[in-house]
């Protein structure tokens, strides 16, 4: 697999620097161009699993992807996936996703892998920079336990997070790391332009109407499109058709439709 090469605004510690959602969309689009052809809607699980190296903001490192062993958190609980870096294995980040089975469907495994890849893209370069620092001039020379860096995806709800204020239990830095990974996941698997085109093609088949007007998002000027249906069942069928087209589950499509402003929350299928 060729190296996945991406760049984005970052600080001198190689951490993302106030990246907006439209920038993450562009980064995901560039990643997608390197992974699949322009006429492809659905990215296969194996396509992501075969990525074995990343070059992010000039930091070149190996990516080990494991999908064969059940993944657990620090407390021994089963989780969907993790992304981690161990300073004792320099220049290598690891992504682990639990195998498909009773606890994890094929569609959720794909979403989890894309989410963890987002952490590898946005968080691993900073981890590698921190982990590669040797002892300072006045630091003790005795061996010390080096910190391992890890993010964890515990369940499906974690993959559906939307931008809200961080909870008291979640540090701001962690909160935004998760939002970045989710935005990358969503934009990689179901890009705005492809979803809009597909929805426009299929809408009439499911009695869903299309309304156009000026965009209210200053980051995305031009004309916006919104979908509406008098019967919720019609919208549900459209979302199922779109999900099949992009190889994700209907809930994933619903979140992306809302995120891109193609449907309003009150019109979402419950």
DSSP string, 65-79: EE-SS-EE-TTS-EE
Contact call for residues 222 and 82 (beta carbons, < 8 A): no
Maximum Cα–Cα distance across the chain: 71
Calculate ∠ Cα 154-160-164, nearest 5°: 105
Half-sphere exposure of 35 toward its Cβ, with a 13 Å CA cutoff? 28
Torsions phi, psi for 95 (to 5 deg)? -120, 125
pLDDT at 269: 52
pLDDT at 169: 46
Contact call for residues 12 and 44 (beta carbons, < 8 A): no
pLDDT at 74: 85
pLDDT at 236: 97
Question: What are the CB-based long-range contacts (under 8 Å, 24+) for 32-38?
Answer: 32/188, 32/191, 34/2, 34/4, 34/5, 35/4
Token output for 129: 């920079």
Query: What does pTM read for this prediction?
Result: 0.87
Beta bridge partners of 72: 78
Contact call for residues 195 and 246 (beta carbons, < 8 A): yes
Best CA proximity match to 229, nearest among 180, 195, 262, 181: 262
pLDDT at 162: 54
Task: Map tokens 């209907």 to a residue.
Answer: 250
Helix 172-189 to helix 250-259 angle (10° resolution) is 110
Beta bridge partners of 224: 213
pLDDT at 143: 42
Per-residue pLDDT of the chain (270 residues; tens, 9 = 90+): 578 999 999 999 999 988 999 999 999 999 999 999 888 999 999 999 999 999 999 999 999 999 999 998 888 889 999 999 998 888 999 999 999 998 899 999 999 999 999 999 999 999 999 876 654 444 444 443 344 678 888 777 777 655 444 454 456 778 888 999 999 999 999 999 999 999 999 999 999 999 998 887 888 888 889 999 999 999 999 999 999 999 999 999 999 999 999 997 655 554
DSSP state of 164: -
pLDDT at 263: 92
pLDDT at 176: 86
List Cβ neighbours of 243 (8 Å cut-off, separation of 6 or more).
249, 250, 252, 253
pLDDT at 249: 93
């Amino acid at each position: 697999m060729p190296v996945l090469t991406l760049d984005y605004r970052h600080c001198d510690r190689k951490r993302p620097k106030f990246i907006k959602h439209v920038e993450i969309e562009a980064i995901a689009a560039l990643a997608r161009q390197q992974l699949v052809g322009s006429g492809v809607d659905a990215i296969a699980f194996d396509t992501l699993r075969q990525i074995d190296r990343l070059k992010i903001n000039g930091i070149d490192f190996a990516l080990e992807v494991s999908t064969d062993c059940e993944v657990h958190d620090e407390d021994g609980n089963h989780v969907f996936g993790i992304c981690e870096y161990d300073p004792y294995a320099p220049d290598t980040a690891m992504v682990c996703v639990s195998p498909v089975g009773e606890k994890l469907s094929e569609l959720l495994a794909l979403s989890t892998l894309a989410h963890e890849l987002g952490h590898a893209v946005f968080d691993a370069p900073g981890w590698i920079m921190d982990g590669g620092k040797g002892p300072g001039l006045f630091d003790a020379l005795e061996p010390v336990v080096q910190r391992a860096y890890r993010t964890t995806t515990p369940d499906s709800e974690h993959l559906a997070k939307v931008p809200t204020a961080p909870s008291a239990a979640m540090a701001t830095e962690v909160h935004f790391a998760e939002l970045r990974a989710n935005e990358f996941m969503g934009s990689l698997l179901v890009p705005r332009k492809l979803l809009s085109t597909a929805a426009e093609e299929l809408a009439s088949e499911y009695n869903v109407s299309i309304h156009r007007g000026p965009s209210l998002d200053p980051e995305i000027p031009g004309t916006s499109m919104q979908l509406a249906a008098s019967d919720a069942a019609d919208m549900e069928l459209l979302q199922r058709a779109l999900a099949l087209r992009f190889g994700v589950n209907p809930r994933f499509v619903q979140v992306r439709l809302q995120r891109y402003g193609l449907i309003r929350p009150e019109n979402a299928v419950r």
